Amino acid sequence: MSGSSFARKDRFLKEKRHDVYRENQKHSEPAKCPVCGCVFANGRWQWLDTDKHAAEVVCPACRRTADNCPAGEIELKGSFLVSHKEEIINLVRNTENQEKNLHPLERIMTVTDNGSSAKVTTTGIHVARRIGEALSKAFKGNLVLRYGNGEQSITAHWER
Ligand SMILES: [Zn+2]
């Protein structure tokens, strides 16, 4: 897309929206997300068991998912993808699980199988990059990563 007024407006909207998902907002601690159960304590979201009475605060990852506003998008295509789709999607999911265990806000939102291509959306930029790099390492192919919004969003294309 060229730098049309539409593109500028779109970027502006995304920047405005990003503030909504900032991770360093002040919460009372501990706070627990009623959707996914992750806990905000010591200044960050983490997977914790807490017996303390926790305030209910929907975490940024669940808010992104509810708003359908991904931080990362990965487009997968190519004939190798089509013939190895299950294996490839398994790797995508396994990579997400590893990342999500360490960083609760880094998750897959959706995996869409479009037949000759597939699309994965994520709540964070790091998990999207990790997935792209895992695909590239395991299956080779061609990986292109593009950051946007001052590295607050990412689009990955992987083709083989
Ligand atoms: Zn949550």
Express each pLDDT in 68-117 by its tens digit: 999 999 999 999 999 999 999 999 999 999 999 999 999 999 999 999 99
Predicted pLDDT of residue 76: 98
Report how far ligand 1's centroid is from the alpha carbon of 120 (Å).
19
CA of 152 to the centre of ligand 1 (A): 19
**Strand 31-32 relative to strand 55-56, pairing:** parallel
Beta-carbon count within 10 A of 95 CB: 20
Q: What is the pLDDT of residue 27?
A: 73
- With 50 as the cut, is the pLDDT of residue 5 above it? no
Rounded to the nearest 5 degrees, what angle is found at the Cα of 122, between the Cα atoms of 34 and 153? 115
**Residue range 11-67, pLDDT digits in tens:** 555 555 555 676 556 677 889 999 999 999 988 899 998 777 789 999 999 999 999
Whether 2 shows a pLDDT value over 50: the answer reads no
Burial of 79 (0-12, 13-18, 19+ CB in 10 A): exposed
From ligand 1's centre to the CA of 139, what distance in Å? 32
- Ligand 1 midpoint to CA 39 (Å): 8
How far does the centroid of ligand 1 lie from the alpha carbon of residue 26, in Å?
16
| pLDDT for the residue numbered 13 | 52
* 46 CA from centroid of ligand 1 (Å): 10
Tell me the whole-structure pTM to 2 decimals: 0.84
CA 104 to ligand 1 centroid distance, Å: 8
- Beta bridge pairs of residue 144: 157
Query: What is the whole-number distance in angstroms between the Cα of residue 17 and the centre of ligand 1?
Result: 18
CA of 115 to the centre of ligand 1 (A): 30
Can you give the pLDDT at residue 149? Answer: 80
